[in-house]
Structure 1
């Protein structure tokens, strides 16, 4: 082999090396979403529009309906990250599981109590059957608190029928299988257009809340810190893109979530204006404290209510944001 040929071979190896390293660094992750609705849209944008891929992450995003089921899958090792209602990881930690909340998805309550035409007020709902995704966690967790504040106790004053997430519950309401449901935005718009009554909005009763969040195992997070930082970097970039690209975000979400464009537009405007989609993907710590307080009351747990800090670790997101600031 001549010196020239050797140089060419060596140069070729050097040029190919970054690609080889990148290929070795690509990480497969299993991530869940409690439902496929507008509120969880950032997860689908991160997965389908390449934000995870740009961070060298091969993400398998799956829907696991009912937040408590998703958290069980996370604890059992079937997932690396779970997108769920925030009360579910709190409950898991209180049962001794090694879980932690690392970022926000939906930083507030967007649901409305929607009911058949004969129901006009909360008091009218005594004896009604509500559709729900679960008997305890997720939206049902908040629904029970809203109804309690309005003087309705479960199971004394109403029934809960497990059906599924907002799309399935809306279909049951439209079919007359249930009397009422907590519908997330923008399905409440669709229900109104069909003649159902809006009894009230959750946010008017519970103004500060952390509805949905990303969780993982603490032990896995500690061993895979660089990977988790890349995940949070992708989520921060996704949230920023959503806030900065209204028309593209609305168009994608309308198609991916099978929504009317006007409903997707109104939804985008609400989520961004209220910052229920946090621009950095951060957690609403004060809202999580409210979730903790309600959890403590509903489960009749002993002792003082813990600080929300017990359940979260924002260091992965903080490191991701520092990385983005340097670019």
Structure 2
């Protein structure tokens, strides 16, 4: 068995296709022994890909774009969270966006991730950062959930199924960002192009398992929910609700592909968080579809 390491962000539902490939034997069928490293710091996922501690990653897509703009070799080769699965969850008693003035809003990082989304959503409602609210870097959604419950933050994006758990515990939803940003490449399957070219057979075998895992997610709810419960500790009712939402809204791409429209929306939205010169490259320049195409052709 050939060993590979896949770095992922935290232990949340976003990782389900990789968990399916591991637990249902799809990696093993390709002769791969894949270790999934669950990382709480979203920047560290990108760093491990850069320094070789991980060969592939479910990373925050913005980090790949920043790496490429700095002359790096990271590339998006597949999709993960292609559409936003979030609700904007706030403490009980906060009734609308206007009541977020002066509040502390949790985000994954000030450098990438949910920050730009929050700024975009609140700007449309007349709230400007940093004058009108504070962004608090918390890490991934599990950390944001803990800080929301402890009162350290007043609101933040929560992904399915944590948003449903929050509502059942008395928190409130101020809305769904996907209603305003229908396509957004939040996370993706990423790798270092130099390593990939030197290890073509390994990448293609990984990609075949990746493609099969996405199809199995859509075709086999029982397996998807069982593995989600096993890996993330959620109850069956929440695992089933999350599966229904992810299938209905095609949050995971059934064909495994990254979304060009989603990457473009990310590029345009992320400019709110940093003072960057206009980006000359378009979304397609950051996506290498050749790996999935070759893997699909060999299935």
Shorter-chain TM range is over 0.9
Name the structure 1 match of 2:121: 146
Q: CA deviation at 1:297?
A: 4.6
Name the structure 2 match of 1:294: 269
Name the structure 1 match of 2:163: 188
Q: The residue matched to 1:298 in structure 2 has which SS?
A: coil
CA distance in 2 between partners of 1:249 and 1:176 (Å): 33
CA distance in 2 between partners of 1:57 and 1:139 (Å): 33
Q: How does 1:158-197 map to 2 (within 5 A)?
A: 158-197=133-172
**TM-score computed with the length of structure 2 as normaliser:** 0.95
Name the structure 1 match of 2:290: 315
1:269 aligns with 2:244: yes
Q: How does 1:76-87 map to 2 (within 5 A)?
A: 76-87=51-62
Q: The residue matched to 2:175 in structure 1 has which SS?
A: strand
CA distance in 1 between partners of 2:34 and 2:69 (Å): 29
Q: How does 1:1-327 map to 2 (within 5 A)?
A: 26-324=1-299
Q: 1:250-275: CA deviations, max 9, x gaps?
A: 12212321112111111101111211
Q: How many residues align?
A: 299
* Greater mean alpha carbon deviation, residues 179-188 or residues 167-176: 167-176
Q: CA deviation at 1:235?
A: 0.6
**TM-score computed with the length of structure 1 as normaliser:** 0.87
Verify the 8 A CA contact 1:112 1:201 in the aligned structure 2: yes
Moved >4 Å (runs of 4+) = none
Q: 1:82-135: CA deviations, max 9, x gaps?
A: 111111111111122111111111111011111112211111101111223222
Q: CA deviation at 1:148?
A: 2.7
Verify the 8 A CA contact 2:42 2:140 in the aligned structure 1: no
- Report the structure, 1 or 2, having the larger helix content: 1
Change (3 A) 1:302 1:58: same
Q: CA deviation at 1:306?
A: 1.9
Q: CA deviation at 1:183?
A: 0.5
Verify the 8 A CA contact 1:67 1:88 in the aligned structure 2: no
Verify the 8 A CA contact 2:64 2:76 in the aligned structure 1: yes
RCO greater where, 1 or 2, for CA within 8 Å and sep 6 or more? 2
CA distance in 2 between partners of 1:240 and 1:46 (Å): 11
Verify the 8 A CA contact 1:33 1:43 in the aligned structure 2: no
